[in-house]
Each structure stands twice: as structure tokens, then as C-alpha cells.
């Protein structure tokens, strides 16, 4: 790297995997118990969203690898990078 260049990928990003969403009324939350089922807006075959700092960057499928949940990327979403 020369003195005038820099890496835009040098900062840590918070990455989240969104399985789906649902809406609940506030009075339903205290009623949740172990074994309760919360239905989401996605089907089991739908890809999950991969978010980096709240921005959608990819979609993927949930897999199990060595006993751990993982996401296999199936689509990369074009992201506009802003450098300040």
C-alpha cells in the first residue's frame, strides 16, 4: 500500500442473519413460554437475509456444518460503499 491508499474493509462490522420476521402485540410477549412456537413470514425453503451493519448484503441457506448452524451464501446483493 502506498501512503495515499487505504482499505475500506479494515473496520469491524456487525453481521446478523435474519431468519424471518413477525409482528406481535406487546401483551403477547409475557405469554411466551418454553416450547412456544412463533411463526415467521418466511417459508423454510426461502433464503435468509445476511445483514452487515443493518444493510442487506447477501442471501443464503441455513446448513449444519460440524454441528454448528452456518449460512451458505447463494446470492450477493450489490452494495454501494460509502467512504467518509
**Residue range 15-29, pLDDT digits in tens:** 999 999 999 999 999
Specify if 4 maps to a domain.
no
Rounded to 5 degrees, φ, ψ at 14 are -85, 120
Task: Output the domain CATH number for residue 52.
Answer: 2.30.330.10
Where is pLDDT greater, at 79 or 75?
A: 75
Question: Cα dihedral angle (30, 35, 37, 42), rounded to 10 degrees?
Answer: 120
Specify if 2 maps to a domain.
no
Average pLDDT on 47-51 reads: 96
pLDDT at 52 over 70: yes
Domains identified in the chain, total number: 1
b/e burial code for range 48-76 (CB count within 10 A of at least 16 → b): bbbbeeeeebbbbeeeeeeeeeebeeeee
Residues 6+ apart with CB under 8 A from 10: none
11 band by pLDDT with thresholds 50, 70 and 90: confident
Amino acid at each position: 500500500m502506498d501512503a495515499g491508499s487505504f482499505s475500506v474493509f479494515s473496520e469491524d462490522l456487525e453481521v446478523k442473519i435474519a431468519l424471518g420476521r413477525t409482528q406481535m402485540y406487546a401483551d403477547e410477549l409475557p405469554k411466551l413460554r418454553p416450547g412456544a412456537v412463533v411463526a415467521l413470514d418466511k417459508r423454510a425453503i426461502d433464503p435468509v437475509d445476511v445483514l452487515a451493519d443493518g444493510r442487506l448484503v447477501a442471501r443464503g441457506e441455513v446448513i449444519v456444518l460440524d454441528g454448528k448452524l452456518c449460512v451458505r451464501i447463494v446470492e450477493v446483493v450489490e452494495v454501494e460503499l460509502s467512504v467518509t
